[in-house]
């Protein structure tokens, strides 16, 4: 009998260990769940870590109001099927309560405003740890994060104040008011996630697979038409066969032309591409070289 773990077994074992460390070290953790492939993978890992018991944390979604309906439907159905608590807090409510000013323009996004709702939600439920599906291969600011990443009492992130993590020793000791963002699949790549989804037969929202969609072609990006973006005279709108590599807001997440209708097709497509997941599809990362890091410093996930 071959007792050696393959690389997916090793990644899975590390992530389950981290989830159990969170359950052991923190009093009020939460798992941030958007209905995207990475957070769905986290939920699958949590099932392996904690079933037959209930999760020792609720699922939490910060809903900007600009999400893809396919992801929201999947989110609700999965939480209901598993019988786990789902907490949804809406950016729309924060905008009204705090009198926040939304961006205006062609692709006006609420992406930055969701930080306010996230920090309010952490305070409301007194969460001391928030588990998320960020990976180091996605973007350079995320590559700087530790597995346990400390946030100050204002939700701020200071890259130079991160704690050392030797081997599998994670330090979750925090002062009152501080909290920790935890990234169990930080060491995974996009391809690892898809290979794991294939191996474990994990269901995903239909948006990840090739489908026809009406899109706006804008500055080399394919943006889904919706009530949230402005179509100007002269804009090119057409119906194309596309899929999504990542699921964010409709205003800042671009589709890719694709005929990949199965997981095997998608794995072949990702293996061949020379462009990263966020580099190809996330408009919010193109605002500046440090767009993601600037958002994280202010409390963004």
Number of helical H runs and strand E runs in the chain:
10, 10
* Highest mean pLDDT of the ranges 163-167, 274-278, 293-297: 163-167
Taking the domains of the chain in order of start, what are their residue ranges? 7-193+289-298, 204-281
Task: For residues 148 and 135, give the distance between their C-alpha atoms in angstroms, rounded to a whole number.
Answer: 13
* Highest mean pLDDT of the ranges 100-114, 135-149, 257-271: 257-271
Dump pLDDT digits (tens) for 110-123.
888 999 999 999 99
- Read off the pTM: 0.91
- Name the residue among 217, 156, 204, 199 with its Cα closest to residue 181: 156
Distances (CA, A) of 224 to 74, 113, 142, 213, 214: 19, 21, 26, 7, 6
| Domain 7-193+289-298 -> CATH class | alpha beta
Q: What is the pLDDT of residue 176?
A: 86
Task: For residues 258 and 78, give the distance between their C-alpha atoms in angstroms, rounded to a whole number.
Answer: 26
Q: What is the pLDDT of residue 37?
A: 96
pLDDT above 80 for 20: yes
pLDDT above 80 for 282: no
Poorest-pLDDT segment among 19-28, 65-74, 280-289: 280-289
Q: What is the pLDDT of residue 285?
A: 57
DSSP-assigned letter for residue 245: S
For 142-195, the three-class secondary structure string (H helix, E strand, C coil) is HHCCCCEEEECCCCCCCHHHCCCCCCCCCCCCCCCCCEEEECCCCCCCHHHHHH
Q: What is the pLDDT of residue 3?
A: 64
Q: What is the pLDDT of residue 284?
A: 62
pLDDT above 90 for 154: no
Q: What is the pLDDT of residue 292?
A: 66
Poorest-pLDDT segment among 58-72, 76-90, 274-288: 274-288
The token duo for 118 is 């996230």
Residue pointed to by tokens 């474990």: 200
């Amino acid at each position: 009998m071959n007792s050696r773990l393959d690389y997916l077994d090793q990644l899975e074992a590390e992530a389950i260990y981290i989830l159990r460390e969170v359950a052991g070290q923190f009093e009020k953790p939460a798992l941030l769940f958007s209905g995207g492939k990475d957070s769905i993978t986290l939920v699958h890992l949590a099932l392996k870590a904690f079933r037959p018991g209930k999760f020792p944390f609720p699922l939490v979604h910060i809903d900007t109001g600009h999400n893809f309906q396919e992801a929201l439907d999947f989110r609700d159905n999965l939480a209901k099927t598993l019988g786990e608590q789902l907490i949804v807090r809406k950016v729309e409510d924060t905008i009204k309560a705090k009198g926040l000013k939304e961006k205006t323009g062609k692709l006006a996004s609420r992406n930055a405003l969701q930080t306010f709702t996230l920090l309010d939600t952490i305070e409301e439920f007194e969460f001391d740890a928030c588990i998320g599906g960020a990976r180091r291969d996605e973007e350079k600011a995320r590559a700087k994060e530790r597995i346990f990443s400390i946030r100050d009492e204002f939700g701020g992130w200071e890259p130079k104040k991160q704690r050392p993590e030797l081997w599998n020793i994670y330090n979750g000791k925090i002062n009152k008011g501080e909290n920790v963002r935890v990234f169990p699949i930080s060491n995974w790549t996009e391809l690892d996630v898809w290979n794991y989804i294939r191996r474990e037969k994990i269901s995903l929202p239909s948006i990840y697979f090739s489908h026809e969609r009406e899109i706006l072609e804008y500055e080399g990006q394919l943006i889904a038409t919706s009530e949230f973006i402005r179509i100007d005279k002269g804009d090119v709108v057409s119906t194309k066969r596309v899929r999504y590599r990542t699921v964010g807001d409709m205003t800042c997440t671009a589709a890719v032309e694709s005929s990949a209708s199965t997981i095997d097709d998608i794995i072949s497509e990702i293996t061949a591409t020379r462009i990263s997941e966020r580099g190809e599809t996330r408009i919010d990362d193109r605002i500046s070289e440090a767009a993601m890091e600037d958002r994280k410093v202010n409390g963004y996930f």
